[in-house]
Structure 1
Amino acid sequence: MGPRMTRCVLPGGVVVVLLALWGLAVQAGKAPLMPSPWQVVVSLGQLAMDGRLVRFTVASLFRVTWGLLWAGVIAIPLGIWLGWSPRAERALGPVLQLLRPISSLAWTPLAILWCGVGDLSAIFIIFMACFGPLMVNTLLGVRKVLSVHLNAGRNFGLSTLGLMRRVVWPSLLPQLLTSLRQTLGVAWMVVVMAEMMAVNSGLGFLILDARNAGNRYDLVVAGMVLIGAVGLGLDALLRSMERIPALSWGFPAPAPSSSTSRFRWMGRN
């Protein structure tokens, strides 16, 4: 069995075993309130037939996309600035460190007060969950840029903007992609909680509504399966982006044996 086949067969085998154990536990009466795997499959079919599966999934993806996008637009430039300028970090660092430990769900009452019940409040909660991790990881990535690369860029006459574009950004990009992958997982978890409190659609709302509608635990578990499946797909998408050479390369540590190889990353010989 080849490596590629092994990567497919082993996870599939684990899933089959877990489904079998799940079904046996339900049949034995060890989990009386737990629906069987077949009941969950039937519920997923019902959600697909009445359109809620696509509608609620798209609603959750919409909120996660905009929350993560706005967090990236603000947190990444801010993290680059704070990582590049110690004076800026000394000025803004205490305030940002004070806000960062506050749970994003603690902002829910203010989000509803400011934005009302709807998409905007959920997007704001997701934004608050994503902002801190993105900013901190960006800041740390800028600080990890090797000084030899910065000094080489200055020797070639690069301005501060040129150093950012030719040195800092390519070195930061691999770590930034990893940070985005982690932050997306956080956003996908937070959107479920936000939809249980601030909106009336989405996968989180589906779970809450199913529980309140006569304890439809088959729909509750179906919603959980959808959340896991979509999260797995999003993570696989970002992992595939990490393998793109133009997005995943960084600056390796310079080889001391060759003085010219240190500058090949700048297109110099």
Structure 2
Amino acid sequence: MTLFNSRKLPAPVQNRPSGAYKTSRWRMFLLPFSVFLGALFTWYFLVRFNVFPSYAMPGPGAVASSFVEDFKSGSLLNDIVASLWRVAVGFVISAVLGIPAGLWLGQHLTGRQAFLPMLNFFRFLSPLAWIPFAILWFHIGDKPAVFLIFMATFFPLALATMSAVATIPAIYFRVAKDYNYKGVELLTKVTFPAVLPQVITALRVSYGIAWVVIVAAEMVGCQDGLGYGIWEARNGLRLDSAACYMVVIGLLGMGIDRFLLQFSKLPNVRWGYER
């Protein structure tokens, strides 16, 4: 139990008409679905009227057929598993190291003054610039991809966590001092719960970066994965297969982002939004 768990969340509005709630639910579904249909029809008509040559833009039907073909052959599923594994390992390592580093830097002025310039330097350095070194150091396989994901996500996570600590109201620490909270107890009962909403947002943003980097990393440093699948399709002039892999990448990214979003709805996290 944290120091501020006794704070009550705003009670839900009780007098909201059920019809308005249902209408809102339908709008949340219909509006994105309408945009999706509009994009799908735009894609169809671009292909139908040969705005681009057929070899340069496969149609929705060709992409759907490619999806069925790649799924039945097992190559698509194998590439999905390979990419998810690499992203998970690199992302977890960066979170395990980056979040504590940000918490420590946020509470120690001397540490911020010493390490902040270096953290910003690496944050602005494109992770793709590390590709030649990753291949030379770790050769071909999972390790270079995991390394690139770590380099892409560690620094944004550490800096976002550090900035979140700086926004904690001073009253929290004054109250914690009255309770004689120090060291680990102060960190676990005050600091970390207070920054958890911002940390979850930083995790979502960093995960998006990781998903972008893994595609580029697999194109040059792996023999499987979704990025490798796109590269292989490009070499075989199978743009329908490449588009199929692009759709899968987007859907997987959206799905895992929604999963991370659910953590922000936990009761022990939501109070941090109200401070």
TM-score, length basis structure 2: 0.88
Which of 78, 83, 87 does residue 106 from structure 2 map onto?
A: 83
Q: 2:23 corresponds to which residue?
A: 2
Q: 2:6 corresponds to which residue?
A: none
Match of 2:224, SS state, is coil
Q: 2:201 corresponds to which residue?
A: 178
Measure the CA separation in 1 of the matches of 2:51 and 2:187.
60
Measure the CA separation in 2 of the matches of 1:89 and 1:12.
46
1:128 equivalent in alignment to 2:166: no
How far apart are 1:239 and its partner, in Å?
Answer: 1.6
Spell out, residue by residue over 1:227-263, the C-alpha distance to the aligned partner (whole angstroms, 9 max, x if none): 111111111111222112223331744xxxxxxxxxx
Change (3 A) 1:232 1:159: same
Match of 2:124, SS state, is coil
Q: How does 1:20-169 map to 2 (within 5 A)?
A: 20-32=41-53, 33-169=56-192
Change (3 A) 1:188 1:85: same
Q: In structure 2, give the amino acid aligned to 1:150.
A: F
Measure the CA separation in 2 of the matches of 1:18 and 1:97.
38
How large is the Cα RMSD of the aligned pairs? 1.3
Unaligned runs of 5+ in 2: 1-21
Q: In structure 2, give the amino acid aligned to 1:46.
A: E
How far apart are 1:9 and its partner, in Å?
Answer: 1.6
How far apart are 1:94 and its partner, in Å?
Answer: 2.7
How far apart are 1:27 and its partner, in Å?
Answer: 1.4
Unaligned runs of 5+ in 1: 254-269
Do 1:84 and 1:142's aligned partners in 2 also have CA atoms closer than 8 Å? Answer: yes
Select the structure with the greater relative contact order (CA < 8 A; seq sep ≥ 6): 2
How far apart are 1:12 and its partner, in Å?
Answer: 1.4
How far apart are 1:74 and its partner, in Å?
Answer: 1.1
Measure the CA separation in 2 of the matches of 1:248 and 1:61.
28
Q: In structure 2, give the amino acid aligned to 1:152.
A: V
Measure the CA separation in 1 of the matches of 2:57 and 2:92.
37
Measure the CA separation in 1 of the matches of 2:115 and 2:40.
51
Change (3 A) 1:99 1:18: closer
1:246 equivalent in alignment to 2:268: yes
Do 2:218 and 2:225's aligned partners in 1 also have CA atoms closer than 8 Å? Answer: yes
Q: How does 1:193-208 map to 2 (within 5 A)?
A: 193-208=216-231
Match of 1:249, SS state, is helix
Q: 1:267 corresponds to which residue?
A: none
Q: In structure 2, give the amino acid aligned to 1:68.
A: F
How far apart are 1:58 and its partner, in Å?
Answer: 1.1
- The percent of aligned pairs where both chains have the same amino acid is 37
Measure the CA separation in 2 of the matches of 1:146 and 1:89.
19
Q: In structure 1, give the amino acid aligned to 2:253.
A: G
Measure the CA separation in 2 of the matches of 1:14 and 1:141.
35
